[in-house]
Amino acid sequence: MTINVPEELETAPGVIQNPHEVEFYSREYPLESQTVEYTADFEWLKSVAPEEFLVELKMHDSMHKAIIAESMNTGDMDPTAEPVPGKDVTQLIKDKARELGFGEVGITKFDKRYAFKSKRDWVKFPHAICLAYEQTYEPTQTAPSIEAEGPHFGTYRIMGALALDLGDYIRSLGYHAQVHNPLVESTVFIPMFVQAGLGQLGANGQLLSPHFGSRARLMVITTDAEVTHDEPMDYGINAFCAVCQVCVNRCPGRALLRERIWWRGTEKYKVMFRRCHPVMARYDSCGVCMKTCPVQRYGMKNVMDHYATTGQVLGKGTHLLEGYNLRELGYFGPGELPRFESDFFHFPHGKAEDLLFEEFKEKLRMGEVNDDSEGEAVLHEFKHRVEEYVNNRLDTPQMTQ
């Protein structure tokens, strides 16, 4: 597929960034996965999410568990053959990945600057094979809905299993292969996909891939195989998002920025988690910003060709692209957004154990923890809740978007 980028949309291949700043933040303020850092947020989600959604999530978690567990150990598995010395196996790996069903495949160096703090020692090999699997088209157009959530969760299961097969194949070529299932949460994937030329970051905070835009579900396999790295590309997205702005206009939580900002050394659109999470929690993981993106709906080539000939954003202002339903609130067409009171956006933020401790300190301050039997009961309850949290830790819902 050839994508003709109109001259006025050309900026730079990949992203615009200052490598020294990226390194500084990665060293001094390393990233951590949300399900480690924001356990209180996700505990809270369970108290407001629709029952139907929680049932779907639980079913997905239990079906996915064995695949995640197997992925965790793949870094320790030995190759099953001797490699052919000096033979570059890039094309063999890409062909196999496509045969298995991955729609986008690219290779770059594993970028440790984006690895999560708790997983830095887990990652073993230097090259990252970036793999994107297409989430089913039709149900995605119904987001936010349970119909769209099935394929969202299901895609992770399918690609998680296929990546285990691809790992076996790489081992049969004589090399190691460590499978980074998205729910293992080892690293931020998008920067490596951009570096491997598989798209650019959109204003919705998602990778806009050439074949299926933001409907791409992402994962990585790291390997020590003899491979050649791909190069970042300019698909025109850095400038196009500034013109388009559909996702920004349509976000029910007003969680997306109109302008790019400098964040940890990269010039990017930043999603405001505090405004997004309360919407995602109550409305089936939301996904309005994915659904309303023309690159997702019509494909990058069609969107760029349309812009080149008309100067317009394909589908902008139409009900087909911009309309969506929210549970109990009904339909919102172009120009219409729901209104939420400010307390809609209040939720406990941070680590669950920190919040428990804050609550306990408040009880101490209020004189509720004395040396009598009532004080002992408060202490006992605190211990019980900490134990409950520690034992349930692995059941934190996995909401990877």
Residues 324-383 that bind ligand SF4 (CB under 6 A): none
Half-sphere exposure of 103 (CA within 13 A, CB side): 18
DSSP state of 78: P
Q: For residue 27, what are the contacts with CB-CB under 8 A and spacing of at least 6?
A: none
d(CA 264, CA 279): 26
| Region of 46-54, 103-111, 119-127, 274-282 interacting with ligand SF4 (CB under 6 A) | 274-282
Output the smallest distance, CB 340 to ligand SF4, in A.
Answer: 11
| Region of 16-24, 53-61, 105-113, 199-207 interacting with ligand SF4 (CB under 6 A) | 199-207
* 257/356 with CB nearer ligand SF4: 257
Site string for ligand SF4, 227-266 (x = CB under 6 A): -------------xx--xxxx---xxx-xx----------
Site string for ligand SF4, 284-323 (x = CB under 6 A): --xxxx--xxxx----------------------------
Residues 135-154 that bind ligand SF4 (CB under 6 A): none
Determine if the peptide bond prior to 144 is cis (ω within 30°).
yes
Output the smallest distance, CB 365 to ligand SF4, in A.
Answer: 36
Output the smallest distance, CB 272 to ligand SF4, in A.
Answer: 8
Output the smallest distance, CB 209 to ligand SF4, in A.
Answer: 12
d(CA 81, CA 172): 5
Nearest to 74 by CA among 125, 25, 120: 125
d(CA 381, CA 356): 11
Alpha helices (runs of H) in 73-189, residue ranges in sequence order:
90-100, 137-140, 146-172
Output the smallest distance, CB 276 to ligand SF4, in A.
Answer: 3
d(CA 356, CA 45): 16
Output the smallest distance, CB 137 to ligand SF4, in A.
Answer: 16
Is 190 a binding residue for ligand SF4 by CB under 6 A? The answer is no
Output the smallest distance, CB 322 to ligand SF4, in A.
Answer: 9
* 62/312 with CB nearer ligand SF4: 312
Comparing every residue's Cβ against ligand SF4, the nearest one is 202
Contact 237, 14 (CB under 8 A): no
* 180/268 with CB nearer ligand SF4: 268
Output the smallest distance, CB 305 to ligand SF4, in A.
Answer: 14
Contact 293, 204 (CB under 8 A): yes
DSSP state of 212: T
Find the farthest-apart pair of alpha carbons in the chain and give their distance in angstroms, rounded. 79
SS3 224: coil
Q: How far is CA 400 from the centre of its chain?
A: 5
Output the smallest distance, CB 289 to ligand SF4, in A.
Answer: 3
* 226/305 with CB nearer ligand SF4: 305
Cα angle: 232, vertex 107, 264; to 5 degrees: 55
* 31/203 with CB nearer ligand SF4: 203
Looking at the DSSP bridge assignments, the partners of residue 132 are 104, 218
Cα angle: 61, vertex 295, 105; to 5 degrees: 60
**How many residues touch ligand SF4 (CB under 6 A)?**
27
| Region of 27-35, 44-52, 87-95, 281-289 interacting with ligand SF4 (CB under 6 A) | 281-289
Output the smallest distance, CB 198 to ligand SF4, in A.
Answer: 15
Helices (H) and strands (E) in the chain, counts: 17, 11
Q: Side chain identity at 192, as an amino acid letter?
A: M
Site string for ligand SF4, 8-37 (x = CB under 6 A): ------------------------------
Task: Please identify which residue in the block is written with the tokens 């992203």.
Answer: 15
Residues in touch with ligand SF4 (CB under 6 A): 202-204, 208, 240-241, 244-247, 251-253, 255-256, 271, 276, 279-280, 286-289, 292-295
